[in-house]
C-alpha cells in the first residue's frame, strides 16, 4: 500500500519509522512518503497561510500550495490495471468520526493521501479542487480540538497499517478483533499472580476454559455498561445467553421486549 502525507511539519511524522509501521516499511509492505507543503510555495517567505475572508480569529491555509503539492500524487500508478482515484483523507474537527470500520475500508485501498492542515484549516476551494482528482474523505479523530492534522494521521496510519496482511506479526490478534462483538475488551493480567497485595481473578488459574470465557464475557458486559453504555444499544439481545443476561443484570441492564434497557436507578 502507498501512503503519502502532506504537512508543514514533516518531522512530526518521524514516528512512522518506528515499531510495527517502521518494520512494515522496511519489509516493503508499506510505502510511506512524507512531503513538506512549503516546498510547493513560490514566494520568498514560503507562505502557506493568510487571514480569513469574513474575519475571525487565526489564519487559514492558502489553496495554491495544496494544489501544487497534491497534483503530482494524482493517479500515480501503484499497480497494473485500471487507474483508480486515490483517496484523500483530510483530518478535520468537522469530519466524519474515524472508526475501525473506516480503518478496514482504508486498508483495502491501494493509495491513501493525507492532507494535514494547521491554523484554522485549509481554504475550502482546495478541498473542492481535490474532489475532482481524489475521493475526498474529511475525517475527525474524535470530538475534541487538536492543533492540526498530524496527530490524527499518526493514529489513522497506525490503525490502517496494522490491518494490512503481514504487518501484524501474530494474525491471531486480528482474528480475535474481527470477532469483536461491539463490546469493550476484558481486562488482562500477567505474572506474578499476586502483586502488591492484589491477586488475579482465581478463575484465570483454574484451567477451565469454558469458565474463563464466561468470566471474560461478563467482564466485557460490566465494563461496557459502566464506560460505554451507548454501545449496548447495538447489542443483539436475542443472541444473549443466560450468563450474558446475568452479567448485564448485575451491571444494571435488563432485556425488555428484546431490547437492552437501563434499570431505573430509583428502582420503582
Judged by CB under 6 A, the chain residues 65 through 104 that form the site for ligand JEK are 91-93, 95
Q: Is 7 in the site for ligand JEK (CB under 6 A)?
A: no
Q: Residue 173: CB partners within 8 Å, gap ≥ 6? A: none
Candidates 136, 152, 163, 167: give the one binding ligand JEK (CB under 6 A).
Answer: 152
Residue 149 sits in the site that holds ligand JEK (CB under 6 A): yes
Least Å distance, CB 115 to ligand JEK, is 9
30/141 with CB nearer ligand JEK = 141
What track of x and - describes contact with ligand JEK for positions 103 through 132 (by CB under 6 A)? --------------xxxxx-----------
Q: How many CB atoms lie within 10 A of CB 8?
A: 20
Q: Which of 3, 141, 157, 232 binds ligand JEK (CB under 6 A)?
A: 141
Binding residue for ligand JEK (CB under 6 A) from 145, 238, 242, 266?
145
Query: Smallest Cα–Cα separation from 158: which of 32, 260, 255, 72?
Result: 32
CB atoms within 10 A of CB 34: 20
- Rounded Cα gap, residues 10 and 97, in angstroms: 24
# of chain residues touching ligand JEK (CB under 6 A): 19
Is residue 148 a contact point for ligand JEK (CB under 6 A)? yes
The one-character DSSP state at 6 is: E
Q: How many CB atoms lie within 10 A of CB 251?
A: 19
Q: Yes or no: say if 3 and 30 are a contact pair by the CB < 8 Å rule.
A: yes
Q: How far is the CB of 57 from ligand JEK (least distance, A)?
A: 8
Min separation Cβ 138 and ligand JEK, Å: 9
Quickly count: other Cβ atoms within 10 Å of residue 186's Cβ.
16
How many Cβ atoms are within 10 Å of 201's Cβ, its own excluded? 13
Positions touching ligand JEK (CB under 6 A) are 91-93, 95, 117-121, 140-142, 144-149, 152
Amino acid at each position: 500500500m502507498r501512503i503519502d502525507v502532506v504537512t508543514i511539519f514533516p518531522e512530526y511524522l518521524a514516528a512512522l519509522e518506528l515499531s510495527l509501521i517502521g518494520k512494515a516499511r522496511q519489509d516493503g509492505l508499506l510505502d510511506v512518503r512524507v512531503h513538506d507543503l512549503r516546498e510547493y510555495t513560490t514566494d520568498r517567505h514560503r507562505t502557506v497561510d493568510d487571514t480569513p475572508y469574513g474575519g475571525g480569529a487565526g489564519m487559514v491555509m492558502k489553496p495554491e500550495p495544496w494544489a501544487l503539492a497534491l497534483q503530482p500524487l494524482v493517479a500515480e500508478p501503484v499497480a497494473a490495471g485500471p487507474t483508480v482515484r486515490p483517496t484523500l483523507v483530510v483530518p478535520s474537527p468537522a469530519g466524519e468520526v474515524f472508526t475501525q470500520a473506516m480503518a478496514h475500508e482504508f486498508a483495502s485501498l491501494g493509495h491513501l493521501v493525507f492532507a494535514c492542515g494547521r491554523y484554522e484549516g485549509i481554504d475550502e476551494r482546495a478541498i473542492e479542487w481535490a474532489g475532482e482528482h481524489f475521493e475526498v474523505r474529511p475525517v475527525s479523530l474524535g470530538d475534541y480540538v487538536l492543533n492540526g492534522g498530524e496527530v490524527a494521521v499518526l493514529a489513522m496510519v497506525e490503525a490502517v497499517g496494522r490491518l494490512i496482511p503481514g504487518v501484524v506479526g501474530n494474525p491471531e490478534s486480528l482474528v480475535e478483533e474481527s470477532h469483536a462483538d461491539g463490546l469493550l475488551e476484558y481486562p488482562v493480567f500477567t505474572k506474578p499472580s499476586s502483586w502488591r497485595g492484589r491477586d488475579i481473578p482465581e478463575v484465570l488459574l483454574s484451567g477451565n476454559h469454558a469458565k474463563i470465557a464466561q468470566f471474560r464475557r461478563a467482564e466485557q458486559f460490566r465494563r461496557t455498561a459502566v464506560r460505554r453504555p451507548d454501545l449496548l444499544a447495538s447489542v443483539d439481545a436475542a443472541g444473549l445467553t443466560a450468563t450474558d443476561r446475568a452479567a448485564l443484570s448485575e451491571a444494571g441492564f435488563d432485556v425488555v421486549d428484546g431490547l437492552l434497557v437501563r434499570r431505573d436507578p430509583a428502582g420503582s
